[in-house]
Homo-oligomer: A and B are copies of this chain.
């Protein structure tokens, strides 16, 4: 019985591998990925990694879906300000809410980090996590990105979806380790990426337990970015990853932490935003998803840097419709 099961699984994995990564051109990034996966999953190879240690961590914004011209979570927060405005007359005169209500994005951005934080805290708190989850679900199934007039959830990278499937088919556990909020991501990211909620790690707000439910408070508990990504990997996963995927200097520490794995061969991959026509082009000087220090290091240390423009046949799933 067990033997039959294993045989079936093996055949299934092989068939999946040959169909995998179809949206990737046969260039160096795809070759690096496949070579890495084949090496570490081959029991006869000296670089073999037991399945239990095949931990792959993925940033979300700019790595699995787009993040321009603003993190999508900020669009959610702004839409939520508009929904809640009638309950908050004070927002008419208070920044950054005033700018949000006037559709003045520049004004919102001018409020700086402090203003953006206020925006998130006010719009993400004050209800049970389960009620908030419904609000997020409604938004993700209706709100559209201004540039593409497509649902935000359609702006996910098809090649990365294939990569997630490919990694899992090869026994990797896939985790999201994002600066985005866990309460924002989990209601939809689970389904979107095929990643269970307990494998979605991110920034979090303080909560309280009352009346047998969890209520979110307007207070940051943890930001998941830069050096705190390895820290949250420690708390949530409890072991050092072997593969890390990111797109910015915010992912650099997590990728170096992965690279420093003393036990296993590792893979580091940066998604480099080089396609201003199909997506966006930005790196060293971007206000969002800045990739500078990490890019220099990646080139010097043989990390895989995906040139989106040249290496990805399509960016978004909806391009298949054409």
Once the chains bind, are B173 and A212 in contact (CB under 8 Å)? no
User: Which listed residue (B8, B186, B209, B260) contacts A8, Cβ 8 A?
Assistant: B8
Contact pattern, A 214-238, Cβ under 8 Å of B = 1, otherwise 0: 1000000100000110110011111
Interface size on A, residues (CB 8 A): 47
With A212-B260, A260-B213 as given contacts, are A236 and B236 in contact (CB-CB < 8 Å)? yes
- Are A198 and B199 in contact, CB atoms less than 8 angstroms apart? yes
**Interface positions of A from 279 to 308, Cβ below 8 Å from B:** none
User: Chain B contacts of A5 at CB under 8 A?
Assistant: 5, 8-9, 12
Give the chain B neighbours of A238 by CB distance below 8 A.
Answer: 182, 186, 197-198, 200
> Interface on chain A toward B: helix, strand, loop, or mixed SS?
helix
Residues of B within 8 A of A212 (CB): 230, 256-257, 259-260
Q: Verify A234–B1 contact, CB threshold 8 A.
A: no
Could you jot down 9 A-B contacts, CB within 8 Å? A1-B8, A1-B11, A5-B12, A198-B236, A198-B237, A198-B238, A209-B257, A221-B235, A236-B236
Binding site for B on A (CB under 8 A): 1-2, 4-5, 8-9, 11-12, 15, 52, 129-130, 173, 175, 182, 186, 190, 196-200, 204, 207-209, 212-214, 221, 227-228, 230-231, 234-240, 253, 256-257, 259-260, 262
